Amino acid sequence: MAVLSACASDPPPVDSVTAVTGAVNAPGGPETYEVVDCLLPGQIRQLGTQVTYVTDRHPVRTTAEDCTIRGGEYVARDRADYGTSLKIWLSEAQKGSAEAQYYVGTLYEKGAGGQPDYQQAADWYRKAAEQGDKRAAVSLGRLYEQGLGVPKDPAQAFTWLAKASGLNDAALSLLTNKHLPDTQATTRIRELEQALATKDQEIKKLTGELRDVNKEVATLQTTVRERTGQAQQERAKLKQSEQRYQTLQADLAAFRVQPEKSQQAAALAQQIQKLQEEIILETHQLTNRNVEIAQLQARIAALEKNADRIQILEQTVARRDSEAQTLREQVAAANQDLKRLDGQLQERQRLAADERRKSQDAEQRYQTARAELEQLRAKPDQSAAIAKYEATVKKLQDEMDRARGELDGRIKDVVQLQQKIASLEANAEKQAKELQVASVNDLGFDGPSLEIIDPPLTKTRGIQVSTDELAIPVSTGAHRSVTGRVLAPAGLRTLTVNGENMKVNEDGVFTATLAALRSTSDELAVQILAVDMQNKRAALKFLLKAKGTAHTSLQAPKQDLSDFGRYHALVIGNDHYAHWSELKNAISDATAVAKTLTERYGFHVTILKDATRSQIMKALNKYREILNEKDNLLIYYAGHGHLEPGIDRGYWIPVDAETNDNSEWVLLPAVTDMLQLISAKHVIVVADSCFGGKLTRSSLAQLKPGLTDEARFDVLRKLAQERVRTAMTSGGVKPVLDAGGSGHSVFAEAFLGVLEENPTILEAERLFLAVRTRVVSTSQKMGAEQIPTYDPIHMAGHETIGDFIFVPRAL
């Protein structure tokens, strides 16, 4: 069992520094280490005892040297002809090889037929991805996101990127990226859009109904007037009929007493009968008309009541909007008052500290004078000196009393201001709650979350002002910029730092410049408040304290860091060029980076100073040979670079390169090809220069702000298992010297500063955000524009939603 266990154990790690240094100094040119599409000979196979046959040749992607050693065939010239490479891989792809299908997809995307064929690329990527090739899944997701060869579909892009990541839904829910659609948010937005459309239809329907009601009211009022007129006419006619009826009744009574007029009486009786019938009919019609009028009037009253109710609702909504606006103005005014009073409080505290020092000085001088006076009193014949000292002591006593009085006054001012601030804070909180109640509209999204990016802090849950929480140490007398990030799925309404509105960029990043501390005893409480479109809030509080007085919270329990693997670095600094202008700080930058990576993060670092193309390619090839999936590799380059105009292709310039002959330049696509062959799971290129060929940022992992330490560590450990290829660049084609006199470039100074201040496990995305903030700020002060970038590298083997992870040795 012991023997089997020994056989199954991993081989001991190779000393990468010794191996790479030896390879760099070995003879040979760089051409043998270029990546080629190699067609290897077929295998000789034995079938039984009689038949021997040779299998078909099969392609591999490897270096020219390796292809030659293995007896393979490759195109030694015209390697830019993608059509030749396509012929090598297409046969294997048609047989079903996922690797070959991926390479065929990349060749079609590069333009194997002269122009990129994104539809063919998408088809081959899909075939490879369906067989589990993660690189193909990432490439297909990118095509869906950009709408190249396939319909633009963020949901499909997310599906393929998530499939490449291998992360479950729980782990994916802890990541955030503005380019990746949030499925829950997408569904909720669709529901809200449908609800909004329904509401719009209801509003249109109600508006139409109100218009119809008003029209109907007008029609009914006209009808009522007509019916009322008709009723009045019928009432007059009925009255006439009744009068005629009375007359006829009298005539009939007279005729009945005169026999000779019996015929006239009979005719008159018939007229009376007919008149009675008419009277009954007219009475019935009049009754119906009155009923109809009453019904119309009731209908009008109901419609008018409904219209009044609508008007009251409109007035109520308008009043509430007005009240909410008033509350917003009150909250804004309260925040301004708080900011003003906070400034006054700091000034009063400074004056109180000055008065305290004056009081202490006066008391010390008083005590010294008293001691000297007592010594004089103990000596004979010192009456004149004693009188003089007594006057001095009296004067010092008066000064001390006056200083104490002024100190008491300052302390009283401070207490009053603190009480006033507390009262205003309470009122502001009350008004904010009233505003939230007055205008809350919960759309069903999570509330906002906040985190501090620069300086990096250990805690990620949020920071509160208390004695056992972290404070940010700052130098006295200097303003301090603090960079953070806000995530608001429902949309951000406002973001304030100590009551002052902040601008937020497209990544949710903001920077606040805070007041300087005047002495080591000063401290500044900082409150960051985010309010989203639902009026949900998130608050983050921390302290600025003078360096040496700030203390950190207890360290988290020791974590198992074995999942993160071994770390290696190739650091290149080129200063002394034969044909290009010399640089002043590339080697010093590289030396400092190597030192920080070695001492703080445990990297095994190989440093190349004034490197040639041959040395760079030999070093990369040696890493290809010795690293495995448990290794991580960082490549740092400081030196001249060149980007070809109009295309995303660049070069690093070795120290012996000509200015007009690019044959000895380091072609960055060649570096990309080598990164694909290196077996290390995580590779990051950090270039204080340029680097072309970038993927979409969708396949970068961004952890949601506000995660607990445990959740953050867990998701980082999962991300550490995936294959990642990323590049961070300074935003220029050569190092820009920091005018502040640090001896480093602007980018290197920021990169080193964040790494040296970082106390915890740090993903490169967060490192980049902090570095970018510092570089942009410094370059603007120098009157220049330099904006660093950070992206996955296209066609370098980036397989997942992941990131490079830095682990400090202190952990």
Q: Is the pLDDT of residue 364 over 80?
A: no
Indicate the average pLDDT of the chain. 73
Q: Is the pLDDT of residue 79 over 60?
A: no
Residue 430 burial class via C-beta count within 10 angstroms: exposed 0-12, middle 13-18, buried 19 and up: middle
Confidence (pLDDT) at 599: 94
Q: Is the pLDDT of residue 53 over 80?
A: no
Confidence of residue 609 (pLDDT cuts 50, 70, 90): very high
Confidence of residue 81 (pLDDT cuts 50, 70, 90): low
Pairing of strands 631-638, 682-688: parallel
Confidence (pLDDT) at 481: 79
Confidence (pLDDT) at 577: 93
How long a stretch of residues is the chain?
811
Weakest mean pLDDT among 253-257, 459-463, 553-557, 621-625: 459-463
Sorted by sequence, the CB contacts under 8 Å of residue 254 that are 6+ apart come out as none
Confidence of residue 468 (pLDDT cuts 50, 70, 90): very low
Confidence of residue 574 (pLDDT cuts 50, 70, 90): very high
The share of the chain scoring above pLDDT 70, in percent, equals 61
Q: Is the pLDDT of residue 134 over 70?
A: yes
Separation of alpha carbons 574 and 583, rounded Å: 8
> What average pLDDT score do residues 45-51 get?
73
Confidence (pLDDT) at 590: 95
Q: Which residue in this structure is represented by tokens 């010794």?
A: 18
Collapsed DSSP state (helix, strand, coil) of residue 202: helix
Q: Cα 791 vs. chain centroid, distance in angstroms?
A: 15
Least Cα distance to 793 among 674, 624, 703, 704 occurs for 674
Q: Is the pLDDT of residue 438 over 60?
A: no
- Whether 512 and 524 have beta carbons less than 8 Å apart is answered as no
Q: Is the pLDDT of residue 327 over 90?
A: no
The backbone torsions φ and ψ at residue 569, rounded to the nearest 5 degrees and listed phi first, read -145, 140
Separation of alpha carbons 495 and 503, rounded Å: 8
Separation of alpha carbons 375 and 364, rounded Å: 17
Weakest mean pLDDT among 72-81, 95-104, 279-288, 646-655: 72-81
Weakest mean pLDDT among 154-158, 224-228, 745-749: 224-228
Confidence (pLDDT) at 461: 26
Q: Is the pLDDT of residue 547 over 60?
A: yes
Weakest mean pLDDT among 444-453, 548-557, 608-617, 788-797: 548-557
Confidence of residue 417 (pLDDT cuts 50, 70, 90): low
The share of the chain scoring above pLDDT 90, in percent, equals 10
Angstrom CA distances, 449 to 452, 461, 708, 712, 716, stand at 11, 9, 12, 15, 19
Q: How many CB atoms lie within 10 A of CB 703?
A: 21
CA torsion, ordered 496, 497, 503, 508, to nearest 10 deg: -90
Sorted by sequence, the CB contacts under 8 Å of residue 681 that are 6+ apart come out as 565, 629, 630, 631, 632, 720, 721, 722, 723, 724
Confidence (pLDDT) at 441: 56
More confident residue, 178 or 648: 648
